[in-house]
Amino acid sequence: MTSVRPEHEYDPLTDPLPPGGHASPWFRSDNLAPGASPPVQEPVSQPLGDPLRNPLTEPQEWYDPGPAGPRQDWYPAPEQTAGPLPAAEPGIPISAPISVAVPEAAPFDNETVALRALDEATTAPPVTGGRAERRRAAKGRGRTAPAPGPAERPRTRAEARRAAKARKDSAAVIASRVIGEAFITLGVVMLLFVTYQLWWTNVRAHQEAGSAAKKIAQDWADGRKPGAFAPGQGFAIMHIPKLDIVAPIAQGTSKAKVLDKGMIGHYDESGLKTAMPSDKTGNFAVAAHRNTHGEPFRYINQLKPGDKVVVETQDAYYTYEITSALPQTPPSNVSVLKPVPTGSGFTGPGRYLTLTTCTPEFTSTYRLIVWGKMVDDRPRSKGKPDALVG
């Protein structure tokens, strides 16, 4: 409801206090004559409204018990004491004050009450624990707790066993997993093996062949006169200018002692004994790897008639000229190592050269044969032959 107040209400900052020193409570006067003191009446200024309303910041409703009719004026009255009331202060006008209608404040609605309750419920309580508790509480602020799901019925023992069995992998899944891991492991092993064969064996063979060539040159410089060469002992160096090959020659064709070390092996085994370059007649036959382990004979298939091969020893240079080749023959065909090789085109005794290696590449199924004949025998004192100088 809307109450009516006088235009001039008491202002404690500008108006003097009424007798008694108080400006409240307020009293109603009916037809009070000008200059007359207001009668002593019971205060009726009882505020109504929501008890949660803050009286310092929100307007209150004032209850007017008078009947509807003429406007009622409200005046400040002194504090009630025993005895008659003093006269009203002349500075307070009481005649015909102008009333101002005070709008009634809107009552609280349900939404406002709900928001306040929510704010109070979500306000974090003060943390009174130690530093660790305060840190955990600070981390937890602003997080929304997950909504609790529907309560699940406890499983029976049979249901638990069935669920555990369902989580286990089947025999087919386990077998496929084992097979897959085996294939992966096999692939890794094969990759490592190929890397070893195609790259690392060449690296090691080149190092060992280089060391063998240096030792041969050092023996020659020291003037050593070897007698019979031991298996695996280097005694000469082969030059193939067209293929840019310089490789040491060792006695025998052992894979471990000679061929796998990147050297060229001289056939000197029992049943396959061939001549030395210094012999007056015979077939100087040698072998070497075509792939891996230094692969000194990898490109001898590119040699053509007229190309030169020089064998350097401690005393002389022996130059051979390529004459023919046999692209493929079984490993059992040892007739190509005879003093007069079968299939070489040579018809009589002479000083011949036979180069043998595996073919096709990266296999040892057959043998590739290249033949040549000696065209120059020059002592070291006369210098290098034209094939090496050019």
Active-site entry in 28, 266, 290, 367:
367
Q: Is 289 among the catalytic positions?
A: yes
Catalytic residue among 5, 28, 266, 289: 289
- In whole angstroms, what is the distance from residue 34 CA to residue 154 CA? 88
In this structure, which amino acid lies at residue 26?
A: W
Position of tokens 């305060």? Answer: 134
Please state the separation of Cα 63 from the chain's center in Å: 78
Counting beta carbons within 10 angstroms of the beta carbon of residue 366, is it exposed (0 to 12), middle (13 to 18) or buried (19 or more)? middle
Structure tokens belonging to residue 200? 């690392």
Mapped to the 3 state alphabet, what secondary structure does 319-367 carry?
EEEEEEEEEEECCCCHHHHCCCCCCCCCCCCCEEEEEEEEECCCCCCEE
C-alpha R_g of the chain: 61
Closest by CA to 93, choosing from 181, 15, 191, is 15
User: Which residues carry out catalysis?
Assistant: 289, 358, 367
